[in-house]
Amino acid sequence: MNDWQRNVLDALVQAGLEEPQKDADRIIEVASESENPSEAAREMLERRLRGELLEYVIGRVRFMDIEMLAEPGALIPRLETEILGRGAESRIRALGVDGELRIIDMCCGAGNLACALAIRFPNARVWASDLTDGCVRVARKNVQYLALQERVKVWQGDLFSSLEGQDLEATIHAIVCNPPYISTGRLDKDRAHLLEHEPVEAFDGGPYGLTIHQRVIKEGLPFLRSGGILGFEFGVGQERQIELLFRRAKGMDSLEFDCDADGLPRAAFTRKKGE
């Protein structure tokens, strides 16, 4: 470690950050790619010490072992979303599609699920979509950054309205969706801190936190082919309500939950019934 690198670590330790070594390693790694690493590191350090999120400061995030871009305007992809990503990956693989594999990433944010799945499946075409300008901008940058322009397209609109008129109905093998799932009431109270750095649209799931799930089940179903997969992320403790939503919505079966390291269900997968 040279002087500027040691300064980065010392400053983060002195400031009492939770994971100073991890932050220092990432700042040093990304700063080292620039022409003037010590200056780049100093600027990043200042922003980090002002309380900005590490991933926004370095402009990078790792998701499913892939280095991607992170920018304000889109949620920083979370580790728990890999439960949905990896669960979708194994179930899609089991479909054994030889020709073109068609995937929708609804509520794509930074495009992390769309890009990760496109990289895992070279025969995949992915339609990613989000409501906000910020997410569409960051997702398109990621598609470019990862050289996926030929196979991943980013659309903008309110849920599936952005994909209408493309003759996609009944052709999709899998829909993945990590929608906002915190209730508006909690965002006003104990989860208000989330809104300090990241966009409200990433979190606000309506009065019960399940408004978007409910709409995606209804609006997404026509896009799936028989046996097609629908995979969702949801919040800790929401599995009962998710089960109810699926039971009420006819047309889906074989509900499965994937859990986090503590055994808590965090992703749900169902299949579209055969005609």
41 versus 159: smaller Cβ distance to ligand SAM:
159
Choose the stretch contacting ligand SAM; rule: CB under 6 A; options: 14-22, 32-40, 47-55, 174-182: 174-182
Contact call for residues 68 and 110 (beta carbons, < 8 A): yes
266 versus 272: smaller Cβ distance to ligand SAM:
266
Binding-site member from 68, 212, 221, 242 for ligand SAM (CB under 6 A): 212
Within residues 242-271, the interface with ligand SAM by CB under 6 A covers none
| CA 230/CA 12 separation, integer angstroms | 42
17 versus 195: smaller Cβ distance to ligand SAM:
195
Q: CA–CA distance from 168 to each of 123, 127, 161, 162, 197 (Å)?
A: 17, 10, 12, 11, 35
Binding-site member from 40, 55, 58, 81 for ligand SAM (CB under 6 A): 81
Nearest to 257 by CA among 226, 235, 228: 235
Q: Is 104 in the site for ligand SAM (CB under 6 A)?
A: no
Binding-site member from 158, 164, 188, 190 for ligand SAM (CB under 6 A): 158
Binding-site member from 132, 184, 195, 257 for ligand SAM (CB under 6 A): 132
Q: CA–CA distance from 151 to each of 118, 166, 256 (Å)?
A: 7, 15, 29
Q: Is 202 in the site for ligand SAM (CB under 6 A)?
A: yes
Q: Is 135 in the site for ligand SAM (CB under 6 A)?
A: yes
Binding-site member from 5, 112, 183, 270 for ligand SAM (CB under 6 A): 112
How far is Cα of residue 184 from the mean position of the Cα atoms in its chain?
20
Task: Tell me how far apart the 2 most distant CA atoms of the chain are, in Å.
Answer: 67
| CA 54/CA 58 separation, integer angstroms | 6
| CA 208/CA 234 separation, integer angstroms | 12
User: Binding pattern to ligand SAM, positions 213-232, x when CB under 6 A?
Assistant: --------------------
Choose the stretch contacting ligand SAM; rule: CB under 6 A; options: 8-16, 131-139, 223-231, 265-273: 131-139
Q: Is 180 in the site for ligand SAM (CB under 6 A)?
A: yes
Q: CA–CA distance from 115 to each of 41, 108, 121, 123, 216 (Å)?
A: 28, 10, 10, 13, 20
Collapse the DSSP code of 91 into the 3-class scheme (helix H, G, I; strand E, B; otherwise coil) and give the result.
helix
List of residues contacting ligand SAM (CB under 6 A): 75, 77, 81, 107-110, 112-113, 130-132, 135, 158-159, 178-180, 201-202, 212
